[in-house]
Structure formats: C-alpha cells, structure tokens
C-alpha cells in the first residue's frame, strides 16, 4: 500500500510502500530525502522538546540507526508522521521547510567586486529603529560589510555601535584599539605604511569574526580604506587554477604574533571552507604567515596559487577603495572581506580610527530573531 499525500504540495512529496515511507523536499536545484532519523530528532511534541528553550528531553543519540518512517500524509498546513519506534505527531510544514534551509535561516551571500557599485551604507540614526537595524544586518550578511554614517564622532562611541550588533570581544590589544601612528609600535597597523588586504589576528583561535573600524579624525590625503570580497576572488582562482585552489584549502601555514608580553601562533590553511566544502573566506596576512616545509614540486604549485591569489586581491577591479570620513564606521566579516589601507603622510594631519571585534553569531542571531518575529522569510 503506497502512502501518498492527500494534498499536492509544491515542495514536499511522499513516496514508498507501507511501513517504509520516504518524505522528499524539492527546491529549484534538487530533490532531497528528509530521513526518518532527521525528522524524529525534531519531534515537536511537548514531551519530546521544551517549548521555551527548544532543548530536547529525549536523547536522540540513542535512536535506532534503522529507524523508519512508517506513515506520512501531507495536509494543508501540517504533515502526519509515524515512526517505527511508535512515535507519531503532526509536523508543521513551514517548520519542516525552515529546517531544510541552508545556513539555518540566513540570507544567501552576494559576491561583489569594485565595479559592482555595491556599497551598503546606513544612517546610524535609522539603525536605532527595528526596521533600520534589520536592513543593516541583512545587508551585512549578504555582502560581508556595511558602512554606518552619522555616528557620534567621539572616543569609545564604537562600543555603542558594536553592542548594537553583538558582544565586544577583548584581545591583547584591549577592548578597543587605537589605529593611529605610534613610534616603534607592536604592529605595522599602527604605522603610516600601506597595508595590503588581510585578515586581522589570523594567529588567534578563534580568529575574531567581525571587525569594526570607526573614524574619529582623517586629515590626510592618503590612508584610503580598502575592502575586497575574498569569495569573488576565490571563485576566479578555483575556476582558473583548481589544483592550486585545493592546495590553499589543504596545506596549513603558521601565523604568528609576538611582542614583549605576547607570543601567539596558529596553523591553518589560507582558504576556509564549511562542513559542506563551500568556501567561506580566508585567513590571510602576508605579513604574518610562514610556509611549512614541503616537497619542492608541491611548493612551486602552492606558490603559484598564492601569487595568483595575491594579484586578484589587489586587482583594482576587485578592491574597493574609499576615504573613511569622521563619524563613519565600517563593519566587515574578518574572514570574508579583507581590509587594508593605502600609505599616508602623518605630517599632513592626524588620522585616528578606533577598532574592536565582535563574534559572527551576533548579526546572525539578530537576523534569525527578526525573521521569526516579522514573517520575513516566506
């Protein structure tokens, strides 16, 4: 006896024989099975999961690996499911579809280049309102950066900005660090030299997820801020040099930082990928990384890829350049959007930025909260 839906659903279908039923979800690209174990773990009944905390009362690690779906029927807004362990419940269709969405309810990333005319700017005063905050968070998650203007142009006001999006993460540079010229400083960021595209603190575990830089004073003609979308550059590298791309995904380099009080080191590949093998960004800083010993032939291929990537990251068609003005603050994904600056002459005038870090889960949490409470996701 075949178990079929009583109602045709555009995204869900039921197939299979009695006591061995399968539920499938369809999207624009593929048809995927929703396994019985996957569904059973998400049991919606109040004796299975606490409604307030969304934490399970049951131990899903002890489910039978051969658990089956014995019955499935799709209704107008829910699916009736019965499993081989005797559990049965109505699952809300919208909840099931929500669980299947990639990145768990986050917007798709949008690659960009300097010529894309994508510079997401938001008035800080509007970000104080819920609609404005949602728009800023959504843009950040799509493009990997935003620029806020009309912020308070005073020291430590970056703390108020950062706290709007997440929790400030303190490092050995402090809760807030000063980006201005300092003689004999412990980092080249605090000199007047040019800085190529880079990730901050790649020697740290975990690497800071999000960086904010807030301009207080900028009286120089140089010192232009630069941003580049590493995902766009890595797409091109993978297409033109797949072997080299794979080497940069696999071979770890060692990033180090040391001063009179600190000695930090971490080994990791330059290119970062998620559990599905999708590229998420980079750990990249030519000032701080050291090659491991490797076979000369592999090293040559590795260096060819590293050289090609370096050229892509500084290509004018990829790298966005602009002058960050007093009262402006840029917030960017520290692994996806690499930042830098052009050289400047401190004799022309002062250039003073303040910076801080927050974790990536701040904007992601805000977005999910807004979506859950505003019916943003269809």
Instruction: Please say whether the beta carbons of 351 and 218 come within 8 A.
Output: yes
Residue 228 buriedness (CB in 10 A; 0-12 / 13-18 / 19+) = buried
Instruction: Note whether 174 and 25 are same-domain residues.
Output: no
Instruction: Note whether 87 and 122 are same-domain residues.
Output: no
Is residue 378 included in any domain, yes or no?
no
Q: What is the DSSP letter of 291?
A: P
Spell out a b/e string for 90-118, using b for 16 or more CB atoms within 10 Å of the CB, else e: ebebeebbebeeeeebbbebbbbbbeeeb
- Tell me which residue range forms the domain holding 30: 12-99
Instruction: Note whether 144 and 63 are same-domain residues.
Output: no
Instruction: Note whether 57 and 188 are same-domain residues.
Output: no
Is residue 43 included in any domain, yes or no?
yes
Instruction: Note whether 46 and 133 are same-domain residues.
Output: no
* Per-residue confidence in pLDDT tens, the chain, 378 aa: 344 445 568 899 999 877 889 999 987 678 899 999 999 999 999 999 998 988 999 999 999 999 999 999 999 999 999 999 999 999 999 999 888 875 567 899 999 999 888 999 999 999 999 999 999 999 999 999 999 999 999 999 999 999 999 999 999 999 999 998 765 555 566 666 789 999 999 999 999 999 999 999 999 888 899 999 999 999 999 999 999 999 999 999 999 999 888 999 999 999 999 988 999 999 999 999 999 999 999 999 999 999 999 999 999 999 999 999 999 999 999 999 999 999 888 888 889 999 999 999 999 999 999 987 765 444
Is 155 strand, coil or helix? coil
Instruction: Note whether 250 and 125 are same-domain residues.
Output: yes
What separation in angstroms does the CA of 324 have from each of 193, 197, 220, 288, 344?
A: 17, 16, 11, 25, 13
Tokens read off for 36: 């019985």
Instruction: Please say whether the beta carbons of 225 and 363 come within 8 A.
Output: no
Q: Residue 76 maps to which CATH number?
A: 3.30.2020.30
Tokens read off for 74: 């799709």
Q: What is the pTM of this model?
A: 0.84
| Radius of gyration, alpha carbons of the chain | 25
């Amino acid at each position: 006896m075949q178990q079929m839906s009583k109602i045709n659903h555009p995204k869900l279908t039921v197939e299979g024989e009695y006591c061995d039923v399968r539920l499938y979800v369809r999207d624009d690209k593929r048809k995927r099975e929703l396994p019985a174990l996957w569904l059973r773990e998400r049991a919606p009944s109040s004796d299975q999961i606490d409604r307030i905390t969304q934490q399970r009362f049951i131990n899903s690690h002890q489910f039978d690996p051969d658990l089956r779906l014995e019955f499935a029927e799709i209704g107008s807004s829910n699916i009736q499911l019965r499993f081989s362990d005797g559990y049965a419940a109505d699952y809300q269709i919208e909840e099931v579809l929500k669980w299947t969405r990639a990145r768990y309810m986050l917007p798709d990333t949008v690659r960009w280049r300097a010529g894309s005319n994508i510079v997401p700017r938001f008035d800080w005063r509007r970000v104080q309102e819920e609609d404005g905050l949602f728009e800023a968070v959504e843009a950040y998650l799509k493009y990997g950066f935003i620029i806020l203007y009309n912020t308070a142009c005073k020291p430590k006001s970056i703390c108020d900005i950062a706290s709007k999006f997440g929790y400030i993460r303190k490092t050995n540079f402090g809760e807030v660090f000063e980006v201005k010229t300092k003689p004999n400083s412990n980092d080249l960021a605090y000199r007047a030299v040019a800085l190529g595209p880079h990730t901050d603190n790649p020697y740290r575990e975990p690497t800071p997820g999000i960086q904010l830089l807030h301009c207080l004073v900028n009286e120089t003609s140089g010192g232009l801020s630069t941003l580049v979308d590493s995902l766009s550059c890595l797409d091109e590298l993978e297409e033109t040099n797949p072997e080299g791309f794979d080497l940069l995904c696999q071979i770890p380099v060692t990033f180090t930082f040391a001063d009179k009080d600190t000695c930090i080191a971490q080994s990791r590949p330059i290119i970062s990928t998620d559990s599905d093998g999708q590229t998420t960004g980079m750990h990249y800083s030519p000032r701080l990384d050291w090659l491991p010993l490797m076979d000369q032939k592999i090293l040559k291929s590795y260096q060819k890829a590293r050289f090609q990537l370096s050229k892509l990251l500084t290509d004018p068609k990829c790298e966005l350049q602009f002058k960050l003005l007093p009262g402006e603050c840029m917030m960017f994904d520290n692994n996806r959007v690499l930042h830098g600056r052009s050289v400047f002459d401190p004799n022309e005038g002062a250039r003073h930025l303040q910076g801080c870090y927050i974790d990536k889960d701040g904007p992601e949490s805000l977005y999910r909260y807004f979506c859950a409470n505003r019916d943003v996701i269809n």
